[in-house]
Amino acid sequence: MSYKKTITLILFTMSMFYGKSQQNYPTDYFQKPLNIPLILAGTFGELRTNHFHSGLDFKTQQKEGFDVLASAEGYVSRIKISHWGYGKAIYITHPNGYTTVYGHLKKFNKTIESYIKAKQYQKESFEIQVFPKPHELLVKKGEMIALSGATGGYVGPHLHFEIRNTITEKPINPLLFGFKIKDSRAPQINVLMGYPLSDDAQINQYNAPIKLNYKKMASGVLLADKIQASGFISFGVNTFDRQDDAWNKNGIYNLKMLLNDALVYEHEVASFSFAKSRQLNLLIDYERYKDLNQRVQRCYITPKNELSIYKTSVNKGQLYIEEGLTYTVKIIASDINGNKTTLQIPILGKKQAIVVPKKDLTTAYPIVAAGFNKFMLGDITIAFPKNTFYEDTFLDLNVKDSVAHIHKPIIPLHKKYTLTFDVSNFTPQQRKQLFIAKYSNKDEPFYVKTIKKELSFYTTSKDLGKHKLLIDDEKPTIQFLSFKNKQWISSKQALKVKITDEISGIKEYRGEINGQWILMEYSPKTKTLSYNFKDKKFTTAKHELKIVLIDNVGNKTVKTGVFNRKVTGE
């Protein structure tokens, strides 16, 4: 074979490989993981806080307790139980190179439940993560592995389902594997934003981001009012997709931008890497999201954005508008079934005086993104490692009424920075109960992990905003819900205890019956611990329950009580 032919063959093979790689997923291998019709409460790649949604959320009729089925044969390769995140979750590794994940489960099937309970008793911890060996917990396709639930923080009942590449751990859109979801509705576009990008660029005399008007034509196409612009500009949209069987506003699959019918930008959420997921904050207009809680997806790629969702970008999606020329920009939002909504923007190239300039961000605290930036404000030191910021900027820093204002949380951070408080003005007793609190969106302070060195306390964070030192001088509280002291409770299935801590929050809890650790499941929603009496055989009638509760600064409460229970059979 000649040299030239070989090259052509290699190129041909490569283009086959790359061209096909997106559709190469087996479409009849996985069965649906629930025995009810699949209705989506959330799509893959949907924009969430600091990450893309890595699976599908299936609705479960606002109830718990539906059978969750293994999507294919394989083995349980991981079981994770956590108060937050996916709550109770199972990972199944399949022989074809994929792993499926099932989250927010209520409980596992008998085999898995007794396997994990033994481990929990061994570790004396409700929260646990184990990686069973390939021969330990085999499952068949369609086997009931768990009941659907609502575990993991404040989520409602639903099943979170993922398909990952077992080796790379990259999640892949499960809808590429042949699951059928009725969807004949096109995505909706809610907001159109214009972004002048260069210093001299303008859209309708704005050098700042500008919201643009459009209306729906009889054809269904959205038509924007003609804009006048010049220089480098781009656009962004807030958009969602609704499937046929529910009103949930889910994410779209594909977003394109065309300039005079030539594709200049395209992204698609087929797969992504968890390591890069946080860069979602570069895809969206982050400041607008923080100000208005509205996510606008930008049709241009900012520097430092390494997301792999981009399929096409000419000049990174930046459009150059020249004086005197006319252009048509089309933005097309599609769902995975190919339903589309098109928004058309007519543009006239015209250079005018800028009436609304970009916000002047200049302050006394400049940030050089590539460098180490450290600032001291009275008793507070703020240190930003190299590349904490995606771009150079300015910060607004001040301390008012002992609240440290570390700018506003409107700039996305790539890494954690360190915030240190000098606590030498506090007494040793105060220092014991002192912690760093951060203010939530609702302006309520909450505990953040405080690392205590003798005279300085610090925390690390990926969010800017308000922080303050607070004292927690209150002990956590324990309330026995299932019995009064010395009561007989033979018919009760479970023992419930309410635990609360108002200021710094609960750090750890421990439950014992007659001096032995018992598995108590904590629900953040109801703030209750519950123990299942089936876990233990009772050979005497009288028992002592002891709960030890410690809050985040170390305040401790111990409560004991006696209950009686009929002796269970041999």
Q: 280 or 301: whose CB is closer to Zn ion?
A: 280
- Do the beta carbons of residue 467 and residue 403 sit within 8 Å? yes
User: Which is closer to Zn ion, CB of 150 or CB of 419?
Assistant: 150
Among 46, 57, 335, 472, binds Zn ion (CB under 5 A): 57
Closer residue to Zn ion (CB): 173 or 433: 173
Query: CB-side exposure of 290: number of CA atoms within 13 Å?
Result: 16
Instruction: Decide whether 150 or 332 has the Cβ nearer to Zn ion.
Output: 150
* Shorter beta-carbon distance to Zn ion: residue 160 or 467: 160
Task: Report the distance separating Cα 133 and Cα 560, nearest Å.
Answer: 40
Write the Ramachandran bin of 201: left for phi over 0, alpha for psi from -120 to 50, otherwise beta. Answer: beta
Region near Zn ion per CB under 5 A, out of 21-29, 52-60, 194-202, 364-372: 52-60
- Which CB sits closer to Zn ion, 57 or 551? 57
For 339, list phi and psi in degrees, rounded to 5. -70, 135
Task: CB nearer to Zn ion: give 81 or 469.
Answer: 81
Per-residue exposure over 377-401, b if at least 16 CB sit within 10 Å of its own CB, e if not: eebbbbbbeeebbbeeeebebeeee
Give 155 or 333: the residue with its C-beta nearer to Zn ion: 155
Alpha-carbon gap, residue 464 to 448, rounded angstroms = 13
Residues 502-521 that bind Zn ion (CB under 5 A): none
| Closest approach of Zn ion to the CB of residue 272, in Å | 15
Least Å from the CB of residue 62 to Zn ion: 16
Token pair 């302050």 in the structure block, residue? 363
Q: Residue 458 forms beta bridges with which residues?
A: 420, 451
Examine residue 266 and tell whether it contacts Zn ion (CB under 5 A): no
Tell me the window of 31-39, 54-62, 91-99, 311-319 that interacts with Zn ion (CB under 5 A).
Answer: 54-62
The single residue listed with the structure tokens 């030191």 is 381
Q: What SS3 class is residue 213?
A: coil
Least distance between Zn ion and beta carbon 531 (Å): 29
551 binds Zn ion (CB under 5 A): no
From the list 116-124, 152-160, 290-298, 477-485, the region that binds Zn ion by CB under 5 A is 152-160
Q: What residue ranges in 127-271 does DSSP mark as E strands?
A: 128-130, 138-139, 144-148, 158-165, 171-172, 188-196, 202-203, 210-212, 214-216, 222-224, 227-240, 254-259, 262-268
Of 340, 306, 391, 315, the closest CA to residue 237 belongs to: 340
Strand partners, 349: 229
Minimum Å gap between C-beta 155 and Zn ion is 8
* CB closest to Zn ion, residue no: 160
Cα–Cα distance measured from residue 99 to residue 167, given in angstroms and rounded to the nearest whole number: 9
- Least Å distance, CB 158 to Zn ion, is 7
Q: Exposure string (b/e) for 490-512, b if CB count within 10 Å is 16 or more?
A: eeeeebbbebebebbebbebbbb
Taking CB under 5 A as the binding criterion, the range among 55-63, 162-170, 381-389, 446-454 that sits at the site for Zn ion is: 55-63
Nearer to Zn ion, 57 or 501 (CB): 57
Binding of Zn ion by 160 (CB under 5 A): yes
- Considering only 53-61, 265-273, 426-434, 528-536, which stretch makes contact with Zn ion by CB under 5 A? 53-61
| Count of residues engaged in binding Zn ion, rule: CB under 5 A | 2
Q: Which stretch binds Zn ion (CB under 5 A): 51-59, 64-72, 228-236, 561-569?
A: 51-59
Which of the stretches 57-65, 178-186, 205-213, 411-419 binds Zn ion when contact is defined by CB under 5 A?
57-65
Structure tokens that stand for 94 in this block: 């399949």
Q: Which residues bind Zn ion (CB under 5 A)?
A: 57, 160
